[in-house]
Structure 1
């Protein structure tokens, strides 16, 4: 008996590569961003490390992984009818493992002209007392409202599906990184927070507190998705990983780059999921 995590694109064309290890006691669908897909080219993913731990526990489970690194919640919703909904129609799952929202926050801080996203343009401004002064509250509220609307679309797709109307969805709440110049690929992917803060002229002395604030907002937003929605579970993923050295430009402690776990980081994340997933 063996637990398997397999990419959905592979499972569609070669299902026998996974099914030969069955029959499976439980089957999960993983959807979302790089926290569900892969943190770097040479690293594993949360589903992979979950499958390893399932094996250690003597469980025979299948995780079909349809997530895509870099995807925002908005992008997942835009592609929903082409991918997520199709997979929901294939079979009944014991749970959907879902990670989204983090990229939306980061993009709103990084991929806009200074002062036009969720951060103020602090160039030439006096040094504020704390990082809160760097956050545009109106833009932040608009972003949260927008994400809430998009998650409702995901939730309704699940609840109106023919085979998974009662399937629980488990939400990744991320963990808090350290803003530092540690991209996944230089000049291609990242850094993320480091770029956002430097673009907006935010003093490095405020970076740690500002990052804490933003990731508290991300966690609170995701935990808010559980309110009034049956079968929606926020996984307690925060506060589990050791922070990286802010001067490190690569792998450091539990982080392979600025915002993604490395192998030891994934291992620390797995128990949070095992605590809520069905045995």
Structure 2
């Protein structure tokens, strides 16, 4: 088994350029901070691509870059390197596309407040959480806090953007090639932001703002992540509208949970929403098997 060899779009422009033909499988990658190559992230919560291993030499051109990478799925429109390498007439033929998307969008949806800055109500279909006067009966469990109308808005957004991405794929030389997505692990809402305090925590302040009981925070987080996993898997099963989409359910990978209330590295987590190296190792190796099995069938 060989580790995935990761390169950047700039490596294709070097003299001499990177020889992709030296690899059996050639992949194109784009995504959020789980794919970021920023030095601070590599030394802290790692990079999921680093933990992918395949039975044959495999290379990936990673467009996620050294910033926070994609903050939202719609940012694909401004990801020029990725769009060109995916859809341009002279782009390489990729054996597959690796994506790490939807997580930041889910977090932003959960962070949407119940009221605007000037005190106006935010409609229920524009947020994922309900304020206390909107909670359902206790018999609903933690679903009583969850906005189904808001979820439908989010789900429509995901469907639209994934359809657009597959259209881009089919405009270029890699038409019909498999697109691989992972789901996300279930984070423990806790006061654990980035070490340099540049961002986060993410879910913790949102759940506090909505006055959700702390005893239910972990279950609310699980509910949202499982909703996303079920959505992505249902899209992958819809071969007519989402051809070639393959989704790996990361929620099935056993991870060591972070301790409630902890503020630093805990379990398999570096901070509230990012895995540490051990967490990336566990999900990366499991996802590798899923991706490798599909690639082996086509080449």
TM beyond 0.5? yes
Which of the residues 133, 142, 145 maps onto 2:156? Answer: 145
The number of aligned residues is 269
Name 1:34's counterpart in structure 2: 33
Task: Find out whether 1:66 has 2:63 as its counterpart.
Answer: yes
Instruction: Tell me by how many angstroms 1:183 deviates.
Output: 0.7
Name 1:4's counterpart in structure 2: 5
Task: Find out whether 1:75 has 2:75 as its counterpart.
Answer: yes
Give 1:1-279 correspondences, 5 Å limit: 3-8=4-9, 10-14=10-14, 19=19, 23-37=22-36, 40=41, 42-43=43-44, 44-50=46-52, 53-54=53-54, 59-67=56-64, 68-76=68-76, 78-79=77-78, 82-88=80-86, 89=88, 90-114=91-115, 116=122, 117-122=127-132, 128=138, 130-161=141-172, 163-185=173-195, 187-226=197-236, 227-228=238-239, 229-240=242-253, 241-277=255-291, 278-279=295-296
Deviations 1:33-70 (A, max 9, x none): 112225935232111221xx34xx5x322111112535
C-alpha distance in structure 1 between counterparts of 2:268 and 2:201, whole Å: 17
Q: Secondary structure at the match of 1:175?
A: coil
C-alpha distance in structure 1 between counterparts of 2:199 and 2:18, whole Å: 31
TM superposition score normalised by structure 2: 0.80
What is the alpha-carbon root mean square deviation over aligned residues?
A: 2.7
C-alpha distance in structure 1 between counterparts of 2:21 and 2:169, whole Å: 25
Greater share of helix residues, 1 or 2? 2
Deviations 1:137-181 (A, max 9, x none): 1111111112111111011111222x1102100111111111111
Deviations 1:206-258 (A, max 9, x none): 10111111011111121122112321111132132221111221111111111
Structure 2 residue runs of 5 or longer lacking an equivalent are: 116-120
Q: Secondary structure at the match of 2:61?
A: strand
Structure 1 residue runs of 5 or longer lacking an equivalent are: none
4+ aligned runs moved over 4 Å, structure 1: 15-19, 123-129
Q: 1:187 to 1:198 in 2, by over 3 A?
A: farther
TM superposition score normalised by structure 1: 0.86
Q: 1:204 to 1:69 in 2, by over 3 A?
A: farther
- Contact 2:181/2:247 (<8 A) preserved: yes
Q: 1:84 to 1:112 in 2, by over 3 A?
A: farther
Q: 1:149 to 1:2 in 2, by over 3 A?
A: closer
Instruction: Tell me by how many angstroms 1:111 deviates.
Output: 4.1
